[in-house]
Structure 1
Amino acid sequence: MLIDIFHDTVCPWCRIGKKHLFDALAQWQEQEVHIRWHPFILDNTIPAEGYEFRSFMQIRKGIKAEELQHLFDYTQYAGELAGVKLDFEKINLAVNTKLSHRLITLAPEKVKNNVVEAIYKAYFEDGLNIGDIDVLIAIGTAYKMDYRELWLQLSDDATVKGFVAESIFSRPNDINSVPFFIINNKVKINGSHSVEMFLQAFNRAALLDIRAKIW
């Protein structure tokens, strides 16, 4: 089974959706699963140094500080229900996520899912700047990626710009929010739905494959 995941590494609902997906996969073991991660950069205009997080979020959402706190509390509670930690008190910076997505692309397939989770943890639990090369290299080398190669590939501005342009160009037209999941190029799920919803989607994709083979 092929699963394409469109996400951003600063999107809390993407982390929740990822957890629901992997919990569903732990229950559904009918086929071998291959996952492809696709970048969906929510705001590529954020500079390398980032913006103060809460001020940025207030402007982006167009809400007051109290309303923003309610939003954080609700999202954090949803994370707790899913089994993931979202500590908005530790997040100081709104960051540009292009380098974090570049790291995911560079990660070997056997550790790619772990690298994604490590990036989410770094931002949502540890409050680290995942737009910072040193933070990302530390994550990559923890999974046996080569330090020098990572530094060269993450610091090459032309390569990174090309990566961002290609990722935007190759994005399907019907995807305008994340998380977004496509199963076997047929079944689409928009949002961080429940484990049960993912299980239903797996079964539906499997049934469509069977029908395609028959016809």
Structure 2
Amino acid sequence: MNNSSAHPVKVDIWSDIACPWCFIGKRRFERAVADFDGDVEVEFHSFELAPDTPVDFEGSEVDFLAHHKGMDPAQVAQMLQQMTVLAADEGLSYDFDALRHTKTLLAHQALHFAKAHGRQSELKERLLSAYFEQGRHVGRIDELVELANEVGLDGDELRRDLESGRYAADVDADIAQARAYGINGVPFFVFDGRLGVSGAQAPETFREVLDRVVAEASA
């Protein structure tokens, strides 16, 4: 069925920069979209997996997860190794040894800034790569300004908006909407405002949902 002349399918994605499954899910979803005969409009929404995280967490990712989840450090290390392998299957080079765990609130505000300037998808990709593959500190304004500049945004304007908290209410609204939907884990995908898919599903699953949305819209 050719959907090229139909309205695009709107997909709202709740995710967190500090969520390894969110980057993997993004890649799998992108593969489904590439195989889909139609247009897809994506909007990313804020979700904080660990809102009590300090901006400057002193310790490794193993330290954080062992404390946050109450797990044995050896178990955490094994889990991160498995995650690194899964990410590699999607072409991602996770480096948990270099990762700088931090509070992601400002990064979410930066994504709202990017959305207002038509560059949300570019900044989302850049932030995820910076965090998981390059050991960048995405909790600090200076780093976020630099990353925004890299994707063609006005870093000086972003700095002013982050310092003033201009987009703080937008982040709060996203998180409130997630709560209203009953979302308690990410990534979470909402297709056409009515079909929810939880987790980093296989590309085939995402593709089936896209096809279903189009079929139901034209029925």
Is the TM value for this pair above 0.5? yes
Between the aligned partners of 1:127 and 1:206, the Cα distance in structure 2 is 40
Determine which of 188, 196, 216 is the counterpart of 1:188. 196
Determine which of 79, 85, 91 is the counterpart of 1:83. 91
Amino acid at match of 2:19: C
Structure 2 unaligned blocks of 5 or more: 1-8
Q: Does 1:62 align with 2:86?
A: no
Between the aligned partners of 1:143 and 1:131, the Cα distance in structure 2 is 18
Q: For residue 4 of structure 2, what is the aligned residue in structure 1?
A: none
Amino acid at match of 1:196: E
Structure 1 unaligned blocks of 5 or more: none
Contact kept? 2:109, 2:167, Cα under 8 Å? yes
Write out per-residue CA displacement over residues 38-78 of structure 1, whole angstroms, 9 at most, x where no aligned residue. Answer: 01111222222234232111011211121111100111111
Between the aligned partners of 2:12 and 2:174, the Cα distance in structure 1 is 13
Q: For residue 152 of structure 1, what is the aligned residue in structure 2?
A: 160
Q: Does 1:99 align with 2:103?
A: no
In the superposition, the TM-score normalised over structure 1's length comes to 0.90
Q: For residue 165 of structure 1, what is the aligned residue in structure 2?
A: 172
Contact kept? 1:20, 1:82, Cα under 8 Å? yes
Amino acid at match of 1:21: F
Write out per-residue CA displacement over residues 86-140 of structure 1, whole angstroms, 9 at most, x where no aligned residue. Answer: 111211x321101111111111464321111100010111111110111110111
Quick one: structure 1 residues 147 and 34, their matched pair in 2 at CA, closer, same or farther if it must change by over 3 Å?
same
Determine which of 183, 186, 190 is the counterpart of 1:178. 186
Between the aligned partners of 1:168 and 1:188, the Cα distance in structure 2 is 16
Contact kept? 2:94, 2:133, Cα under 8 Å? yes
Q: For residue 42 of structure 2, what is the aligned residue in structure 1?
A: 35
Between the aligned partners of 2:48 and 2:96, the Cα distance in structure 1 is 20
SS at match of 1:168: helix
Q: Report deviation, 1:160.
A: 5.3
In the superposition, the TM-score normalised over structure 2's length comes to 0.89
Contact kept? 1:51, 1:95, Cα under 8 Å? no
Between the aligned partners of 1:141 and 1:9, the Cα distance in structure 2 is 18
Q: For residue 133 of structure 1, what is the aligned residue in structure 2?
A: 141
Q: Report deviation, 1:170.
A: 2.6
Q: Report deviation, 1:167.
A: 2.6
Contact kept? 1:24, 1:196, Cα under 8 Å? yes
Contact kept? 1:187, 1:204, Cα under 8 Å? no
Matched residue pairs, number? Answer: 208
Contact kept? 2:145, 2:156, Cα under 8 Å? no
Contact kept? 2:53, 2:103, Cα under 8 Å? yes
Q: For residue 218 of structure 2, what is the aligned residue in structure 1?
A: 210
Contact kept? 1:4, 1:38, Cα under 8 Å? yes
Between the aligned partners of 2:173 and 2:120, the Cα distance in structure 1 is 20
